[in-house]
Every structure is written in C-alpha cells, then in structure tokens.
Chain A
Amino acid sequence: MIALPFVLLVFAGLAAVLGLRQVSIWIWVAAIATMLYAVREQAPGALNLVL
C-alpha cells in the first residue's frame, strides 16, 4: 500500500507541469491521506510504532 502515495504524487507532479494546479493540489491531499493510511497499516510491524 505504501506504493500508492508514490503513484499519486507522480500524478500530482504531472498535473502540475501540465497546467492543472487545483487538480495537483487535490491529488497531493489524497497522497498525504494514503500515506497516513500506509503508516497506520505498517505501524505495528515494519515501522515499530505503537499507535
């Protein structure tokens, strides 16, 4: 799941260079949300975090 925010950030960058500013910002928000989900998913194992 940690790959998903990477993919979303590629789209955010792509939208930015193609002239879609608002779309880029919203994709960035989605990427951060999925990043938090990935942290939650990996927290007890690979990240050694107790939430």
Chain B
Amino acid sequence: MMAKTLSFRLLVAGVALAAASAAGAHHSQSEFDFKSTVEVEGFVTNLDWRSPHSRLYVEALDAQGKTVNWDFELPSPMTLMRRGWKRDSLKPGEKVKIKAATARHFPNIGYAIVIRDGSGKPLFTGVTQIYEPEPQAKTP
C-alpha cells in the first residue's frame, strides 16, 4: 500500500514536470525532451500550415557538413494567427535560426522554442515555462 501511494505520488510529480513543457498544445508533449535542446541555422523549405500543429521544415548542415532536413513542430495555425503569424510569415528559402527541444525517439525532429527570421526578429512559438521568468526586482 505504501509502495502504491509512493509510486502514485511520483506519478503525479512526473506528470507535472512533463506537462510543464506543454507548449501551446492540446496534449502532453513528453515526446519532446525540453532539457535537450538543439540550435539549428538553415533555410526554410516549407511551412506546413495545418492543425493541430504547424510544422516548419528546415534544411541545414550538420557538424559533418552533411545536409539534414529538420522537422520543427509549432502551435496550430489558429494559435499562431492570434499572435501575429501569417501562413507566409516564413517563406521557402528564408534563413532562420531555431532553438528547439529534440524528439526523444526520432532524429531531426524538434519542438521550436525560439525562431528568428532572416532579419533576426523572433517569432512567437508559444512555448511555456521552458525558461523560468526573470526574478522580479525587489522594490524598496
């Protein structure tokens, strides 16, 4: 009984941790490891503007200079549109810099945390609680 109770407590704690990285999603995002991030600089090949998650495909070079095609998950078009995105906000051939959480079980798939377009402007990704907010300055 004690063991059961303990395992259940661990379960709830584990769920809370996993769910803390739910990013603009309608489900747990435990398929991504938000403690394992990758930074990719490359060129957009396609912005797949469909629900439940938009997907941004990016061609980049890996450390060995080999071309790699990345598949980055984003919130739904609905969520992105409410935060200023358009279906052509990123066009094929456009240079992007992306920081993403990596998929736990598949290579070259990630959940985009930070996206900067060719001009360096960040675009909304909807990621929640990936970074703790800056501590508020204490007022005297």
Physical interaction between A and B: no
List the interface of chain A (C-beta within 8 A of B).
none
List the interface of chain B (C-beta within 8 A of A).
none
